[in-house]
Amino acid sequence: MDAPLRILIVGGMACGPKAAARARRCDPRARITIIEQGTTVSEGSCGLPYFIGGQVANENALLIRTPRYFKDIMDVDVLTGTRAVSINRSAHTVDVLDLKTNATSALPYDRLVLATGATPAVPGALRGRDLKGVFTLTKLADAKAIVSEIGHASPKRAVVVGAGLIGLEAAEALRQRGLEVTVVEALDRVLPSLLDPEMAAYAEKELATNGVALWLGQRIVAILGDSDGHARKVATEKSEMEADLVVLALGARPNVQLARDAGLLIGAAGGISVNERMQTSDPCIYAGGDCVENVHRVTGAKILAPMGSTANKHGRVIGTNATGGNDTFPGVLGTAVVKVFDLNVARVGLSEGEARAAGHRTAISLAPGFDRASYYPGAQMITVKLVADAFSGRVLGGQIAGKGEVARRADVLVSAISLGASVDDVADLDLAYSPPFNGPMDVLHHAANVIRNKMSGRAKAVSPVEVNRRLCSGEEFILLDVRSQAEWDEAHIDASQCQLLPLNKLREKVASLPRDAKIVTMCKTSVRAYLAQRLLEGEGFTNVCFMDGSMTAWPYAVVCNAQEHS
């Protein structure tokens, strides 16, 4: 009988343990060892904000698996408090350091797995990064330190630097702890790498509603402390704000130094380069999780995609292949979902900006609608932004925001984009329907049909961003609101170009509209606005379009009962 296969895994958080578990199932005889420099393995790191916010009351709930579990159930040795120092590829060994005793040793391998993760992207030149009261949030120890700080130091003002997924989740958690919270973001919107501006506006409104201040378009330059070495202010390029607690959520950098020192190929995006079998440039060494590059399934570009879900998929492929199998990982779509207080936000594939940057001529729709039958108790409005290629109709991406169910719609789009579906395919999907779960036509159906109408030439639309640009520039056109008087009184856009003409009065008063005017119609969700566009064209008007998504998708200020609200 051949000697058992020796599989050595560096990293014990997500990808590494998954690779170990899969390898054990594939090869009952393999000798599998996990090296982890921390004291725990298999942490549920995506749950850390909810531990801070109190939804997860027990820290042990975030310890998904323990070293004892791996040994007793999986027959996998776990060496915690052990750091991989270097790889000797010719000898097939890894030099490791015992962090408790400082003893070094060399561990042999037949197959090596690098699951070294990523490190918070904190600029080395950031003054004050080491002050007391300044935290990152990637490990359970970070979350426990923040909770301890809140309990012992009683901070009143928190600043979260970075408005990505972790930043917004941390902001919500700190508000739930009773702190005043400000989010600082260098770019002009929240979730800037995920959402287009009009969709990001939904999250910005929700944050403001819940008392989170936003300092957008401001880059942090320093954290200022007191004489005791505790953070007291955050300075940006433009201003300063008081802070007793600071969370740096500026993204993550792949941990690639071990691989780089071993001569393994590092890709242009900064992660370890792997093939579809998750092999590095050395076929005996695999890598997965946050430390590697992924293929984007729409563009084919190599990107970084630090997600626990992706790391687990990597681990399964690695565990299969390290034991002689032949599994592949096709890539990612940048899928993400986040809860921002009572708002749910999801995205998949390419944003409109990304699609254009990739060379696509885009066709988009902004389709508001209810997440279930409108008459069913609890129905909530959501808005879908669908992005497609204007020539082929191929679906490229989608963004969804609202207080209703968004994750299921995102998952439908994941399947559609993965299979190369067009807007025709999405419009024809036989989605489940019953009033507690959906309307007879899902919002995705409406979003796809809007693009189909645009591609056929029937529907002509402009985005809320473009309408706002025209209003601000003083362009002469008519923004024709075809809602009812009651809807207008409840909320309307305060601009000289905007006028009310309810749809049921449009035919009889069409002569009051100048024939040579540029007209943009609008309503609540753009259903009536599209009908108004077609009606006016039937009356001989030649320069008419509607505002995509209309009032529901309008991210700017409106007048509500004579009071202006943003």
Specify whether 410 is located in the same domain as 310: no
Decide if pLDDT at 232 tops 80.
yes
> What residues contact 120, with CB distance under 8 A and at least 6 apart?
136, 137, 138, 248, 250, 251, 252, 253
Domain boundary among 456, 471, 500: 456
The string of pLDDT tens digits covering residues 155-189 is: 999 999 999 999 999 999 999 999 999 999 999 99
227 pLDDT band (50/70/90 cuts)? very high
Specify whether 493 is located in the same domain as 505: yes
Specify whether 257 is located in the same domain as 113: yes
- Rounded mean pLDDT of 222-243? 95
Q: Which helix (H) or strand (E) holds 447?
A: helix 443-456
Specify whether 280 is located in the same domain as 425: no
For residue 524 the two structure tokens come to 């609540």
The range of the structural domain enclosing residue 553 comes to 461-565
Does residue 530 fall inside a structural domain?
Answer: yes
Find the range with the poorest average confidence among 22-26, 27-31, 122-126, 360-364: 122-126
Does residue 110 fall inside a structural domain?
Answer: yes
Specify whether 443 is located in the same domain as 526: no
Number of C-beta neighbours around residue 160 at 10 A: 28
Specify whether 317 is located in the same domain as 370: no
- Rounded mean pLDDT of 44-48? 95
The string of pLDDT tens digits covering residues 349-401 is: 999 999 999 999 999 999 999 999 999 999 999 999 999 999 999 999 999 99
Specify whether 559 is located in the same domain as 522: yes
Domain boundary among 250, 268, 293: 250
139 pLDDT band (50/70/90 cuts)? very high
Supply the pLDDT for residue 123.
86
Does residue 329 fall inside a structural domain?
Answer: no
Does residue 302 fall inside a structural domain?
Answer: yes
Supply the pLDDT for residue 206.
96
Specify whether 166 is located in the same domain as 262: no
Does residue 332 fall inside a structural domain?
Answer: no
Specify whether 260 is located in the same domain as 239: no
Does residue 124 fall inside a structural domain?
Answer: no
Average pLDDT, whole number, for the chain? 96
146 pLDDT band (50/70/90 cuts)? very high
Instruction: For residues 274 and 145, give the distance between their C-alpha atoms in angstroms, rounded to a whole number.
Output: 35
Per this entry, what is the length of the chain?
Answer: 566
What percent of the chain is modeled with pLDDT above 90? 97
125 pLDDT band (50/70/90 cuts)? confident
Number of C-beta neighbours around residue 303 at 10 A: 15
Specify whether 86 is located in the same domain as 138: no
Domain boundary among 406, 435, 456: 456
Does residue 184 fall inside a structural domain?
Answer: yes
For residue 290 the two structure tokens come to 């946050």
Supply the pLDDT for residue 561.
54
Maximum separation of any 2 CA atoms in the chain, in Å: 93
Active site residues: 46
- Residue appearing with tokens 């776990």: 78
Return left, alpha or beta for 188; rule: phi > 0 is left, psi -120 to 50 is alpha, else beta.
alpha
> What residues contact 1, with CB distance under 8 A and at least 6 apart?
none
Specify whether 352 is located in the same domain as 446: yes
Specify whether 355 is located in the same domain as 431: yes
The CATH number for 146's domain is 3.50.50.60
Does residue 205 fall inside a structural domain?
Answer: yes
Q: Total structural domains in the chain?
A: 4
